[in-house]
A and B are shown apart, each in its own frame.
Chain A
Amino acid sequence: QVTLKESGPGILQPSQTLSLTCTFSGFSLSTYGMGVGWIRQPSGKGLEWLANIWWDDDKYYNPSLKNRLTISKDTSNNQAFLKITNVDTADTATYYCARILQLTGSFFDYWGQGVMVTVSS
């Protein structure tokens, strides 16, 4: 059974660094073709893809967030991480992590429940 769960600080101030953790089970990020992605959704709005990390440590980022994103993984502990530097109120959103499987087209086939992050002074 595949599950993912996000965790984060809840609230942080502008200019701080947001650190998110995705803890998963039912698959391994050391398995060929496996990946984890991060997606966010401001309240009442649409979805925005942020970054992906793959089993071979390949990483892809949304250029709209320029150089503010860093994605990483800890394969032995079944975790993936996302850092966003220099946050502002526009980063207030629910953040999701999701599994990606190359075998079935690299779509987000399992999602976490999401973690709400508020940026406020």
Chain B
Amino acid sequence: DIQMTQSPASLSASLGETVTIECLASEDIYSNLAWYQQKPGKSPQLLIYYANSLNDGVPSRFSGSGSGTQYSLKINSLQSEDVSIYFCQQNYDSPWTFGGGTKLELK
């Protein structure tokens, strides 16, 4: 199975700050990576697919980058509504696997 390791596990940032979350795959996943946002008590929502494609309706302050085994999610100008848990997921190989999540809180 491909292991997805997210860092950090938790993060505290101020409004307006830029935040970066990392996801490391245990082998090359050729950009077959998505990022999801899960707000408290809600189901996950797709933010980014194919590593850097913004899903419809997602604010442009979210961006994704990376290749090979290393990927990142960047949030520019942090807003209060961005408080969530963020997960990465690979679908390059079965079983599809998720990272452990990064909990983003406001400082």
Residues on A facing B (Cβ under 8 Å): 37, 46-49, 52, 60, 62-64, 96, 104-114
Nearest 7 A/B pairs, CB to CB: A111-B43, A49-B96, A47-B98, A107-B34, A62-B95, A107-B49, A109-B46
A4 — nearest CB in chain B belongs to which residue? B43
* Complex-state Cα separation, A106 to B45, whole angstroms: 14
Residues on B facing A (Cβ under 8 Å): 1, 32, 34, 36, 42-46, 49-50, 53, 55, 87, 89, 91, 94-101
A47-B89 in contact (CB<8A)? yes
Report the tally of A-B residue pairs with Cβ distances under 8 A.
Answer: 59
With A107-B46, A109-B46, A112-B43 known as contacts, the answer to whether A46 contacts B91 (CB < 8 A) is no
Q: Which of A47, A62, A112 has the most CB of B within 10 A?
A: A47
Q: Which residue of the partner chain, among B32, B44, B95, B99, contacts A108 with CB atoms under 8 Å?
A: B44
With A64-B95, A107-B91 known as contacts, the answer to whether A46 contacts B46 (CB < 8 A) is no
B87-A47 in contact (CB<8A)? yes
B98 — nearest CB in chain A belongs to which residue? A47
Q: Which residues of B contact A49 (CB under 8 A)?
A: 89, 95-98
A111-B45 in contact (CB<8A)? yes
- Mind listing 21 A-B residue pairs with CB under 8 Å? A46-B87, A46-B99, A46-B100, A47-B36, A47-B87, A62-B95, A62-B96, A96-B43, A105-B32, A105-B50, A105-B53, A106-B91, A107-B49, A108-B36, A109-B55, A110-B46, A111-B43, A111-B45, A112-B43, A113-B43, A114-B43
